[in-house]
Amino acid sequence: MKKYKLTYEKSGVNIKAADKFVKFISTLSNKTKKSGKFKNIGSFGSITELPKTLKSPQIVSTTDGVGTKIEIANLLKKFNTIGIDLVAMCVNDLIVQGAKPLIFLDYISINKIDLNKLKPIMQGIIKGCKISKCELAGGETAEMPETYEKNKFDIAGFSIGIVDKKKILNQNINKGNLVIAVPSNGLHSNGYSLVRYILKKKKININKNNFLKKELIKPTKIYSNEILKLANKNLITGCANITGGGIPDNLKRIIPEKMCAKINLNQIKSKKIFKWLKNQGISDEEMLKTFNCGVGFCLIAKKSNIKKIKKYFSSDFKPYVIGKIISGNSKINFNEKVNWNK
């Protein structure tokens, strides 16, 4: 009788290891679970109850990843922060619309199931969900031995939020409103391909550089708690998440037709990591369109609300004015230059 020796495991896929990881996720996800009778992790789909307090609820959805910051995590063998980055990249886009994060789902694809990597990644995702007050409702872990090289992986996230139709932001931006910068805590999760190019070209070993070792793996700031409070109090008319493309590409996305955000670049309070990058030989223009340059979020608000707005932020993230909305067709108008030594 013919014996069959072919198995899924021999092809490089370990279902038992994947099942172990799912059990681990189930235990962790209970920490983010909101009231409700539905068991989502391990099911075919996730069920979430919608809040009953909104008169005209609108669903907002976002998806994102962390780019090549993953390669920095691999270099440092530090995986407990990129999960926070993943949640941040998604929910920070949700709150631009004024939406409260409800649920988050993740997708992890990896060469081979490695619990020493996957567990800290998931712990970071859970931490991000707790900070943003949303539920980890499900996800997918795919073992793909030939698609990814040894030790390689990628992560992506998907988030859903809800906002009352009357509370959607960026609908009432007017001439005379101020543009307010909310500080970033560093690079966040953008521009890492250029950063890694510099490291490679200049043969810099970040494991031997304590400054870079700390800065390059620092998790993205999650702004949901502060921004949603401002939105609920009607203190802002709009906001923009400053990610890939920097201030010019992201701020112009919310500026109405025939209006322009006039930005005084010398008002920007940059950070040491951006001074370091600038000194590697990057032009001001390239810096501004690649990195956040110290500005994690831009708020649009009336001048009369500035003092109230500042009260909702800790000392490390105190907002400050960098420009105002004027008439014009260019959407963005830069004046002066960034002082990289600030």
Burial class (CB in 10 A: 0-12, 13-18, 19+), 58: middle
User: Do 158 and 238 fall within a single domain?
Assistant: no
Which CATH number covers residue 282? 3.90.650.10
Task: Quote the DSSP letter at residue 219.
Answer: P
> Does residue 171 sit within a domain?
no
Q: Which of 97, 92, 220 is nearest to 159 (CA)?
A: 92
pLDDT digits (tens, 9 = 90+) for 219-268: 999 999 999 999 999 999 999 999 999 999 999 999 999 999 999 999 99
User: Do 18 and 103 fall within a single domain?
Assistant: yes
pLDDT digits (tens, 9 = 90+) for 10-60: 666 666 666 666 666 666 666 566 655 445 566 677 777 788 888 999 999
> Does residue 281 sit within a domain?
yes
d(CA 280, CA 273): 11
User: Do 128 and 27 fall within a single domain?
Assistant: yes
- Whole-model pTM? 0.91
Structural domain containing residue 62: 13-34+55-165
In the chain, pLDDT over 70 holds for what percent of residues? Answer: 88
Which CATH number covers residue 98? 3.30.1330.10
- 207, 318 contact by CB (below 8 A): no
